[in-house]
Amino acid sequence: DMDAFYASVELRRHPELAGLPVVVGHPGSRSVVLAATYEARAFGVHSAMPMMQAMRRCAGLVAVPPDHAAYAEASREVMAVLRAVTPEVEPLSLDEAFLDVSGAVRRLGSPREIASHIRSRIRDEQQLPCSIGVASTKFVAKLASARSKPDGLLVIPRESVLAFLHPLPIGALWGVGDKTEAALTAIGLHKIGDIAATPVSTLVHTLGKAAGMQLHALANGQDPRRVSPDEPDRSI
């Protein structure tokens, strides 16, 4: 998962802005923030925030107009690095992808070594930071990448999945938005471990069959989905 991707690409193009609070977006009253550096996030600025609100939160904020062609080209460069490791690459968007590296272990080393290799190549060749989560399932790998930001690497061994998951808030689970979180909190569930310990029948009664069964499986570290390299990009 690339860190603050649009903003990082702009910093690569404008190194004089390094260390400053920077956002990508048109500096107009009707614009929104497309990406924010971590210096800007320290002021509470985040993507999808109205630009005027971001400017009020951070007086020294620098707004850079977006260049989508540059972001698409940077994405192609990054995906080329990933596909040099394994053909089993499933892009989620311009700046994020799942990899199944099981076939690359003999050639490139352990999953941790492969992740370190990827981060080093992207840093050296594209001058861009990224965060990587390594786990036995897509869900846990995705969660680990989020917990390792910015510019980090987190490996969750198979035997440590539940110890990693269960202390986390229920909002960390895929599929738990505001309404679902409110429904789960109303029946006394606050941590992922609470969901794992709750009978499936209770979750199904509260959320419906599909959502209840899915969240119970995820809370117990179960995610059978495979990396699908033929999946199209989900968003731009």
pLDDT of the chain along its 236 residues, tens only? 999 999 999 999 999 999 999 999 998 778 999 999 999 999 999 999 999 999 999 999 999 999 999 999 999 999 999 999 999 999 999 999 999 999 999 999 999 999 999 999 999 999 999 999 999 999 999 999 999 999 999 999 999 999 999 999 999 988 899 999 999 999 999 999 999 999 999 999 999 999 999 999 999 999 999 998 865 555 55
Q: Are strands 132-134 and 153-155 parallel, antiparallel or unpaired?
A: parallel
Query: Cα-flanking dihedrals φ and ψ of residue 216, to 5°?
Result: -65, -40
70-73-76 Cα angle (round to 5): 150
48-52 long-range contacts, CB within 8 A, separation 24+: 51/23, 51/25, 51/26, 51/27
Residue 3 CB-density burial (10 A; 0-12 exposed, 13-18 middle, 19+ buried): buried
Q: Can you read off the two tokens belonging to residue 73?
A: 């080209």
Catalytic residue among 73, 96, 159, 181: 96
Q: Using the Cα atoms of residue 20, residue 21, residue 23 and residue 27 in order, give the sign of their dihedral.
A: negative
Query: Cα-flanking dihedrals φ and ψ of residue 95, to 5°?
Result: -120, 20
Give catalytic status of residue 96 as yes or no: yes
Q: Kindly give the residue spans of alpha helices, DSSP state H, lying in the chain.
A: 5-13, 38-41, 51-57, 68-85, 105-108, 111-121, 138-147, 161-165, 178-186, 192-196, 200-207, 209-219
pLDDT of residue 180: 94
Q: Can you read off the two tokens belonging to residue 96?
A: 């994020």
Cα gap 222→217, rounded to integer Å:
5
